[in-house]
Structure 1
């Protein structure tokens, strides 16, 4: 058996759908946490157990659902955030739908000390339309503080959903759901989809302020790059290549730093947007006369924002590639300039080498004469010594006749030494340099 076989089976059931009876009150919090805050969040979650005199879990897990009697809490740990879903079926049904909410059942001090920052927070009131009539539009607007409503009949008309997609006076969003003909399991699945739609919608929009901020700066960077490219394309322009290279390096550094800040956020926006569209399709909505459905409203407002993020990300990638191409052009220009300088330097060195060779031949001729002169002088001492010992001959004639032989011998010896060094150089140097 594979070591991960049981874990792979369990993964499909790690976050089961809710089984939700109607009427009910549901509150949802999505809290963004850092790596350190994730550890603190688990310790903070364990305090709920201690508050209710229950045994807390020893290790953190991806999913927990705990029944505390009058309410139950579901905790889901995700990559960027931790989600808390609080569900209560014990409330005064005579009150208006949002007069009581499930979040109020949690200890206030515990809520105030949750580690992280809340990105999504809303209440869901689930009513049973089989035991009470649905309110008309005027009554529904009262529950949403007279804000403009978005509504639909999901699951082919088996339920009705109202929302404003706005924050209300309590700083929370609101959803009002009427169950007309759904089982507890169907209702739980639909509520879970609505929760995820609203949560992922907000997470997808996190990148929009970042996209707006960098879009204006990208226009400025485009202008700078265009000016630099224009300088390179003008043959009559006298360029300060070092200054241009420095400017290109500054632009490339800014682009890479911006990509490092935005790549994850833009990729996450794309992923969350895909999830929202998938979940909206699973709602199977029917229209309520005169109102936008959730799908129509979200796609109309969310898709342009996601497209803005996508366009900004593509703009960054395009600018990075164009800077690379201009940098290549600049490097090519610099390399060509260096090659021209090297050719001029080599030509100058070749000219010097020829002059040095001519001087060397002159020095060799002079050295032959000098060595011959000193050799004849030494030979003269030998001839005089022999003459002084009584050997009779014309020493002046002998000295004169010896001069050509001495000069010829010195010249031959010099040529032999020169040939020996040339053979040694040919053995050690490559053929390309000798040619």
Structure 2
């Protein structure tokens, strides 16, 4: 966190301007003197532990002369040379304590106890000893319990020399010995920060490898089932099996998506952490020391295979999804072709039915002509009889002949009215 006084905000400032400046100054390390001890924890803190962590950070802290707090970072120091840094990451928190080498235990213990009880699961804990001269190196290597063929020793950035066995000792800490070199405290702090960030991001990146080991057998089984399913699709001739094959393929796809959902974040995080660790490794400009393995050799020996395995696993999931898509497309095409054939057969059947109805309608129309002629002759007969009855005075026949034409007219008007009403309703429905 920057100690600069905050600048008054102007009307023309972009809402993210101050955030961008704060972000660029977020990860500044404290000055590291040439004779000191550094304790650093990287803790995985889940969502449920964030609020207890905030409370612990604010309410349970020991005495500091100056204290600066922001939502994602905090810095503090005392008059006798104690420095504290806290930083919140996406899924972890990093806490660092810098103590003078000759600080009495009764003064250092409250700060160490505070760090030791921090909420979260420890992913990495490192105890760094910075010494001012070469003559103190051997004594401190023995005191820190570091020895053996696995010792890493190299020069970083051409000014500092480091030693570590990168193991976990009885007190739960890893060990790092640093020869201070002829640099300023601020420069020394920046270099040690890069060394520590390399180890921190390396451990975060390696967390994806157990995930691959856990889900690898399930993916093997999915691939086997998909291969068998593809063979069944290729040789299947019974149309009734297509629906069952499609359902089986949907089940395989669902299980794959569950695996991708469970591993996606961790594998993506592994790729990101690995890239940052690689950047930090390059920035350290490692120079070998004869008789020792370098930090580059130690890091790449395990990190590179692990991250490549994770990347291969993620690519494998993508390829399986593509294979499922291709097999499903094959099934869809086959089912669609069968449906089109069924539709064609149905259309042909409907065409035959329509032709039959047309023939029947033609026959009915022919018979209707005969019926219409019969009734028309009858109507004409009624009118002729009515005219003939006028001379004889037969009133029933006269009346029948007289009403024939009006009845025909009334029926025609009624049918015409109904036809117009039906056409009107049809047009209104179209609109």
TM-score computed with the length of structure 2 as normaliser: 0.80
14 and 180 in structure 1: CA distance in 2 versus 1, 3 angstrom threshold: closer
126 and 102 in structure 1: CA distance in 2 versus 1, 3 angstrom threshold: farther
Is 1:12 aligned with 2:62? no
Q: Secondary structure at the match of 1:203?
A: helix
1:62 counterpart residue number: 72
Deviation of 1:269 after TM superposition, in Å, equals 1.1
Deviation of 1:320 after TM superposition, in Å, equals 0.9
Question: Residue 111 of structure 2 is aligned with which of 102, 106, 110?
Answer: 106
2:130 counterpart residue number: 126
Q: Deviations over 1:36-84 (max 9, x none)?
A: 53343222211244x4287976x74332210145522101122221110
Is 1:336 aligned with 2:368? no
2:195 counterpart residue number: 194
Q: Secondary structure at the match of 2:156?
A: helix
On the 8 A contact 2:53/2:119 being kept in 1, the answer is yes
CA–CA distance in 2 between the matches of 1:60 and 1:2? Answer: 21
Moved more, 232-241 or 285-294: 232-241
2:138 counterpart residue number: 135
53 and 63 in structure 1: CA distance in 2 versus 1, 3 angstrom threshold: closer
Q: Over the residues paired in the alignment, what is the CA RMSD in angstroms? A: 3.2
309 and 354 in structure 1: CA distance in 2 versus 1, 3 angstrom threshold: same
1:355 counterpart residue number: 356
Alignment of 1:361-400 (within 5 A): 361-390=362-391
On the 8 A contact 1:46/1:56 being kept in 2, the answer is no
Question: Residue 90 of structure 2 is aligned with which of 62, 79, 92?
Answer: 79
Deviation of 1:260 after TM superposition, in Å, equals 2.2
Q: Secondary structure at the match of 1:106?
A: helix
Deviation of 1:175 after TM superposition, in Å, equals 1.3
CA–CA distance in 1 between the matches of 2:300 and 2:177? Answer: 20
Is 1:89 aligned with 2:89? no
Task: Give ranges in structure 1 of 5+ residues lacking alignment.
Answer: 94-99, 392-412, 429-435
Task: Give ranges in structure 2 of 5+ residues lacking alignment.
Answer: 1-11, 393-411
109 and 13 in structure 1: CA distance in 2 versus 1, 3 angstrom threshold: closer
On the 8 A contact 1:150/1:294 being kept in 2, the answer is no
2:216 counterpart residue number: 215
CA–CA distance in 1 between the matches of 2:360 and 2:265? Answer: 70
Deviation of 1:383 after TM superposition, in Å, equals 2.7
1:163 counterpart residue number: 164
CA–CA distance in 1 between the matches of 2:384 and 2:157? Answer: 135
1:319 counterpart residue number: 320
CA–CA distance in 1 between the matches of 2:288 and 2:142? Answer: 18
Deviation of 1:309 after TM superposition, in Å, equals 0.3
1:29 counterpart residue number: 41
Q: Secondary structure at the match of 2:75?
A: strand
Deviation of 1:109 after TM superposition, in Å, equals 6.7
On the 8 A contact 1:152/1:285 being kept in 2, the answer is no
TM-score computed with the length of structure 1 as normaliser: 0.79
CA–CA distance in 2 between the matches of 1:208 and 1:354? Answer: 71
